Structure formats: C-alpha cells, structure tokens
Chains A and B, each alone.
Chain A
Amino acid sequence: EVQLVESGGGLVQPGGSLRLSCAASGFSFSTYWMYWVRQAPGKGLVWVSHIGGDGSGANHADSVKGRFTISRDNFKNTLYLQMNSLRAEDTAVYYCVRDLRMGPWGQGTLVTVSS
C-alpha cells in the first residue's frame, strides 16, 4: 500500500524556518516525481514545488521562489521542503503528493506562521 506521511509542521514566527518531511513507502520512490501542494485555511489548493525522481527538474511557485527549497533522499525514501523567511501568508496545510497527475496525497501537515 502506498503511504505518504508528512511531518515537521507547527507554529513558527514570521521570518522563521521549518523543514517539512514526507516519508514514503509502498512504491519505488526514486522513480516518481514528487510534489508539495498547500491549502490555506478555507482556501483552495496551490501547487508549491516539484522534483524529479533523481532530484533533477526542481521547480517552485513564484510565491515561494528563493525562500523554499524542495529536495529528496532516495536512500531514505523521504521528500523534504525547507521553508525559510516564512510569512503569515504561508500558513497552510502542506500536502506531499506522488505524481500530481494521479496521486495519492498524504494527510498533510499544518504550518502556522504567527507571532
């Protein structure tokens, strides 16, 4: 069974940093593109970033470019999102997704940016 389990969310002050992790199991992790998608409270889904199976092809939404960095460790079957210079508008549930065309999605981890 494919499983994606996000962790690392929490409360952080504006300007702070967090690193999200997504532990993957049940499939050949290194052969899939992986994605981060976020959803602010009561709002819609927004693509944040993606990365190829071998770590190439990383791209980020303009709203997070220069502040967030996606990466992966194929030995640990884990996807990461390093988030720096966090802003209030980054407050959201962050979902880890295998292959955005088809999923599945993790259950998400909540990031709250507030003083």
Chain B
Amino acid sequence: QSALTQPASVSGSPGQSITISCTGTSSDIGNYNYVSWFQQHPGKAPKLMIYDVSNRPSGVSYRFSGSKSDNTASLTISGLQAEDEADYYCTSYTSSSTWVFGGGTKLTVL
C-alpha cells in the first residue's frame, strides 16, 4: 500500500495555470478510473474537487479539471486565485480492494 506520488509543492501567480501530478501504478491509477482530488485548507476537512478522474461536482469552479494518462493522474487549476492556496490530495482505488492517497501537494499562490 505505497502512497501515490505527488510533488510536495507547486506555486503560481494569480491568473496562471498549474498542474499537480499524481503517479501510481498499474494496480491503482492505471487500472481504475476511480481517482478523486481533494482540497484541504488548514484546520478544515477535505473538500472534493474532482471525482472519477475528470468529473467536477456541482459547486466546484470550472477552473478545476482532471485527467489521466497511464499510471498518472493530473489536476489542473486555471486562472489561479488566492483562495486556491491549499493542500491538494489525490486518491485511487486499488486492486487490493483498498484505497491509497498521495502524499499531498501544497499550492502557493504567489
């Protein structure tokens, strides 16, 4: 049950776009479309941003989008805003009938 691999930090200026990668294996991301992305502000519970690789729940800004290629999923945030500064986590279902999270990425809006 090794964690998915995310960059520890990413940054961007307001208005720019950034992408956060989430790399797994053929036993998780590569074999299932059950990849979700969560945003977490300090002291708060995680909030769903993307589910099933690329679906955006109602109420989440169109600026957030998800994709997947082979064993790597990605979250792209366009038109960065100050309120996007947070920690972001990916998660995937696995072939062991478990779930695995990424280590988290701290997004800084410069």
Q: Interface residues, chain A, CB within 8 Å of chain B?
A: 35, 37, 44-47, 50, 57, 59, 61-62, 95, 100-108
Contacts and interface: CB of A to CB of B under 8 A. Distances in A.
B3 A44 contact: yes
Interface stretch (B15-23, B68-76, B93-101): B93-101
Given A37-B101, A61-B98, A100-B99, 13 more contacts: A44-B104, A45-B89, A45-B104, A47-B99, A50-B99, A57-B97, A101-B36, A101-B52, A101-B93, A102-B51, A103-B46, A103-B47, A107-B45
B103 A59 contact: no
13 contacts: A35-B99, A45-B38, A47-B91, A47-B99, A47-B101, A59-B97, A59-B98, A61-B1, A61-B98, A101-B52, A103-B48, A105-B47, A106-B45
B101 A45 contact: yes
Nearest to B96: A59
Contacts of A37: 101
B102 interface: yes
Contacts, number: 53
A47 B89 CA distance: 12
Q: Which of A47, A95, A101 has the most CB of B within 10 A?
A: A101
A105 B89 CA distance: 14
Given A101-B51, A102-B57, A108-B45, A47 B36 contact: no
Nearest to B48: A103
A59 B36 CA distance: 20
Nearest to A46: B101
Contacts of B93: 101
B103 A44 contact: yes
B22 to A, nearest CB: 12
